[in-house]
Amino acid sequence: MDVVNVPRPDLSEDDVAVLALLARGLSLDAVARRLDTSDRTVRRRTRTICDRLGVATPIEAVVWAARRGLI
């Protein structure tokens, strides 16, 4: 499948920041600390990202974003 023709869901800069930090191996709690927000917010955002991308796990979301050059 050609990546150029794959529709890209609307991901905010914050969504991409979460994915980038997860890609570096940070836990959801560590991402929350790094972004100076609650772990509950990061968990909710991660679920929303997964839903938008149509993937089941944050790891799949990271792979999705990396393959498309977002992170």
pLDDT by position in tens, the chain (length 71): 444 445 567 899 999 999 999 999 999 999 999 999 999 999 999 999 999 999 999 999 999 999 999 99
Confidence at residue 8, expressed as pLDDT on a 0 to 100 scale: 62
Residue 26 lies in a domain: yes
Total-model pTM: 0.84
Structurally, how many domains does the chain consist of? 1
Token couple for 52: 């938008």
Looking at residue 7, what is its pLDDT? 55
Which residue range forms the structural domain that includes residue 58?
A: 11-67
Tell whether 1 is covered by a domain: no
Other beta carbons less than 10 A from residue 24's beta carbon = 12
pLDDT at 46: 97
**Separation between Cα atoms, residue 37 and residue 41, nearest integer Å:** 7
Q: How far is Cα 31 from Cα 21, in angstroms, rounded to an integer?
A: 6
For position 10, what pLDDT does the model report? 82
Q: Does some domain include residue 58?
A: yes
